[in-house]
Amino acid sequence: MTVGIHPAREYRRRRDVSHSLLTHCVKLNALNKKAAVPEGLKSAFGAAVRSRRHRLDISQEDLAWRAGLHRTYVTNVERGVCNVSLETISKLANALETTLASLIVDAEHVIGRRHDVPVDILLVEDRPDDAALACRALKAAGVANTIRIVHDGEEALEYVFCSGRYSDKYPENHPRLILLDLNLPKVGGLEVLKRLKADKRTRPIPVVVLTVSRRDRDVAESRRLGADAYVVKPVDFDGLRDVIPKLDLCWLIFQRPVQQAAGA
């Protein structure tokens, strides 16, 4: 669930990008040569290729060998940073044991699922009521950034590391802040925190732990593992007001001054 995206605006974005994708493929078919591909379409194609490759459980090197392409080129295709020709797309489709049409459909699905929409704040909370309170507190603080809500530790790790159900997400679209509940199903909050801080790609992301008590022994452990701050649940405006100044959150978008929200 993503909060902060206007439904009508997002529908128009998906419609326009999907139309552009099909139009560009028609042009490729007519020209049968390399052409400048819009960034969003490159990313969608790359995510579709990466997702198919993961389903087949093959490496980029294996895919490159199957398709008769250089591994570096396949890497750049998956990253969405290079142009592709109809011939190349066909080679990749054959190597991925699918058709060109199916690969295009996969790319459209990537656009539709919005996994690559940049998210500023990732909220990891399994209780809907607590998640709603946290979103309400952020709104009360005037924070207008995009928020993504995931409901267990396993999904949080998949989202951040672009695996499992989020294997088509662009790897560099990391959240800028993670609000992490400690009592999570499937994978506990402390284990999620441990993995985030153990990986150099995600270590710089500020993590604010959500805990039921300041005296919770898990608070001390989360500090040891590298948590940047903690907020006692249920999350409210006062808790966020105390935490925000301690973090380097210059990217936050405020709809109104925090002081005004405090007096409301």
pLDDT value, residue 250? 57
Given 113, 132, 155, the domain boundary residue is: 113
pTM above 0.85, yes or no: no
Q: Which amino acid is at 180?
A: L
Band (pLDDT 50/70/90 cuts) for residue 142 is: confident
* 2 domain-assigned: no
Residue 226: C-alpha distances to residues 198, 216, 220, 223 (Å): 9, 16, 10, 5
* Residues 149 and 27 both lie in one domain: no
* 1 domain-assigned: no
Task: Give the mean pLDDT of 147-176.
Answer: 85
pLDDT digits over 210-245, tens only?
A: 888 776 688 889 999 999 888 888 777 677 767 666
* Residues 165 and 221 both lie in one domain: yes
* Residues 204 and 238 both lie in one domain: yes
pLDDT digits over 79-112, tens only?
A: 877 777 778 888 999 999 988 777 777 776 665 5
* Residues 101 and 131 both lie in one domain: no
* Residues 104 and 140 both lie in one domain: no
* Residues 166 and 243 both lie in one domain: yes
Task: Give the mean pLDDT of 54-75.
Answer: 92
Assess contact for 152 and 94: CB atoms under 8 A. no
* Residues 78 and 167 both lie in one domain: no
Given 81, 113, 145, the domain boundary residue is: 113
* Residues 125 and 96 both lie in one domain: no
Q: Which residue blocks in 32-120 are alpha helix, DSSP H? A: 39-56, 60-67, 71-79, 86-95, 100-113
- Report strand pairing: 121-124 vs 147-150: parallel
Placement of tokens 């898990």 in the chain: 218
Task: Give the mean pLDDT of 167-183.
Answer: 82
* Residues 129 and 190 both lie in one domain: yes
To the nearest whole percent, how much of the chain has pLDDT over 70? 67
Query: How many other C-beta atoms can be found within 10 angstroms of the C-beta atom of residue 54?
Result: 14
Assess contact for 26 and 20: CB atoms under 8 A. no
Cα separation of 191 and 225, whole Å? Answer: 9
Q: What is the CATH number of the domain that holds 134?
A: 3.40.50.2300
* 181 domain-assigned: yes
* Residues 131 and 226 both lie in one domain: yes
Given 113, 133, 159, the domain boundary residue is: 113
pLDDT value, residue 195? 96
Look at the chain and report how many structural domains it folds into. Answer: 2
pLDDT value, residue 11? 45
Find the domain containing 59 and state its range.
Answer: 7-113
